[in-house]
């Protein structure tokens, strides 16, 4: 099929999922067209069946807010017509489902019908979308989608709770490509980050409030009091300075390494012993899954869809949001005993394989086919 994918091109989970999905679809012989304002960060190689179409939004001083939806839907109409696209898959409802709906309507005027799949990712529902300023438009554009998917059962439930949804929501979980992680994990360059006797604890996120960055530091502080350890913080965002100040006031700045955004997540996870994800809300927790496939156990909150990924007592432990004492105790439970750590590491890996792309991709392909046939 010829598929247009709309997503955010940044380091965020929804953009990563959309990009990896597009790459996998192209590997399976589909022709994939990414339409967004910048080349997606995980899309390093373009080929004869992976294309990128940049949306330009010309600045005009009259506009206090530049009309991105308008530029996106115009670009989509042109791209769909030029490349004879069969199907449109938008990731993250805001404003992509809205722009997708306008695209469909414009094409219908010309006698073309292109089905739209909308994938809900999390904050488009739980944080931003349910805000009264956006809710009517988000409800409308979800209901106008031909197929709606959510990345976890929990997100489906939240969506039905917050919005008046008339469409069936299909749960299609996020995924990882197991075959990319077939190396032995023995040559992981731990010495880049820590001394041999130190455990390496990692956190990766966009450093927004929802990630509860101070809890990451508080958990590490409690662990580091008991065992030698380093904390590797990967990502950029508004809470980074807060975290740096907190490390300073707790006297642990020399134990915490802030790396900024990275395209080498797997190299970092390769030498990590534990991953922290104490989020306030998380529809799925793709970062936890990426940790697990790299054999890294997870200490997380039990918010949202995280329990669908991190399994209590098997791949890590889950606590109520904010319970940093319990999170630290559980982290130590895993880290102090090498045999136990090894058990959690292999459990994490085995459990992550539930989400191998080979299992998940056919779910999307089936939905594409159904939507295409029902035109």
The candidate with the shortest Cα–Cα distance to 98, out of 51, 43, 142, 46, is 142
Candidate ranges 9-17, 94-102, 134-142, 348-356; the one touching ligand GMT (CB under 6 A) = 9-17
Of 23, 43, 50, 210, the one binding ligand GMT by CB under 6 A: 210
Tokens of 183: 């190396």
Least distance in angstroms from the C-beta of 282 to ligand GMT: 4
Contact between 173 and ligand GMT per CB under 6 A: no
Name the residue nearer to ligand GMT (CB basis): 125 or 231.
125
SS3 301: strand
Tokens of 55: 């949306």
Name the residue nearer to ligand GMT (CB basis): 188 or 281.
281
Contact between 284 and ligand GMT per CB under 6 A: yes
* Chain centre to alpha carbon of residue 284: 8
Candidate ranges 13-21, 35-43, 44-52, 235-243; the one touching ligand GMT (CB under 6 A) = 13-21
Distance, in Å, from the CA atom of 165 to the CA atom of 124, rounded to the nearest integer, reads: 15
Of 22, 129, 235, 285, the one binding ligand GMT by CB under 6 A: 285
Name the residue nearer to ligand GMT (CB basis): 13 or 297.
13
Least distance in angstroms from the C-beta of 352 to ligand GMT: 13
Distances (CA, A) of 190 to 181, 233, 253, 260, 331: 17, 15, 19, 18, 19
Least distance in angstroms from the C-beta of 189 to ligand GMT: 26
Question: Among all chains, which residue has been given the structure tokens 């990563």?
Answer: 16
Question: Among all chains, which residue has been given the structure tokens 């056919």?
Answer: 362
Answer whether 76's CB lies under 8 Å from 100's CB.
yes
Least distance in angstroms from the C-beta of 279 to ligand GMT: 6
Residue 109: CB atoms within 10 A of its CB come to 8
Give the chain's radius of gyration (CA, Å).
21
Main-chain dihedrals φ then ψ at residue 366, nearest 5 degrees: -60, -45
Candidate ranges 21-29, 176-184, 194-202, 279-287; the one touching ligand GMT (CB under 6 A) = 279-287
Name the residue nearer to ligand GMT (CB basis): 20 or 224.
20
Using CB under 6 A as the criterion, which residues of the chain lie in contact with ligand GMT when the complex forms? 12-15, 17, 92, 121-123, 126, 151, 174, 205-206, 210, 281-286
């Amino acid at each position: 099929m010829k598929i247009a994918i709309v997503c955010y091109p940044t380091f965020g989970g929804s953009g990563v999922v959309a990009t990896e999905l597009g790459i996998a679809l192209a590997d399976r012989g589909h022709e994939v067209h990414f339409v967004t304002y910048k080349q997606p960060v995980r899309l390093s190689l373009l080929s004869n069946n992976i294309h990128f179409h940049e949306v330009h939004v010309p600045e005009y001083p009259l506009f206090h807010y530049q009309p991105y939806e308008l530029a996106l839907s115009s670009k989509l109409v042109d791209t769909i017509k030029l490349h004879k696209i069969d199907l449109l898959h938008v990731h993250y409802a805001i404003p992509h489902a809205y722009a997708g709906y306008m695209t469909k309507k414009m094409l219908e005027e010309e006698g073309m019908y292109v089905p739209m799949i909308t994938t809900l990712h999390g904050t488009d529902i739980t944080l931003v979308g349910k805000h009264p300023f956006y809710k009517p438009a988000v409800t409308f554009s979800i209901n106008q989608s031909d197929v709606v998917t959510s990345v976890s059962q929990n997100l489906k439930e939240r969506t039905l709770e917050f919005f008046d949804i008339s469409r069936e929501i299909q749960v299609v979980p996020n995924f990882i490509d197991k075959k990319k992680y077939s190396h032995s994990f023995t040559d992981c360059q731990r010495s880049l980050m820590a001394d041999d006797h130190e455990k390496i604890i990692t956190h990766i996120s966009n450093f927004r409030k929802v990630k509860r960055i101070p809890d990451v530091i508080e958990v590490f502080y409690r662990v580091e009091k008991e065992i030698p350890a380093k904390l590797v913080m990967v990502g950029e965002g508004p809470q980074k300075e807060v975290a740096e100040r907190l490390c300073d006031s707790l006297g642990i700045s020399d134990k915490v390494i802030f790396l900024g955004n990275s395209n080498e997540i797997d190299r970092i996870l390769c030498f990590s012993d534990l991953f922290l994800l104490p989020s306030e809300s998380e529809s799925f927790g793709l970062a936890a899954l990426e940790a697990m496939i790299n054999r890294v156990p997870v200490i997380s909150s039990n918010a949202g869809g995280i329990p669908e990924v991190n399994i209590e007592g098997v791949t890590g432990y889950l606590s109520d949001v904010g319970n940093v004492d319990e999170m630290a105790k559980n982290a130590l439970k895993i880290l102090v005993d090498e045999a136990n750590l090894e058990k959690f590491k292999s459990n994490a890996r085995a459990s992550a394989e539930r989400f191998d792309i080979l299992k998940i991709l056919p779910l999307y392909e089936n939905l594409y086919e159904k939507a295409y046939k029902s035109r």
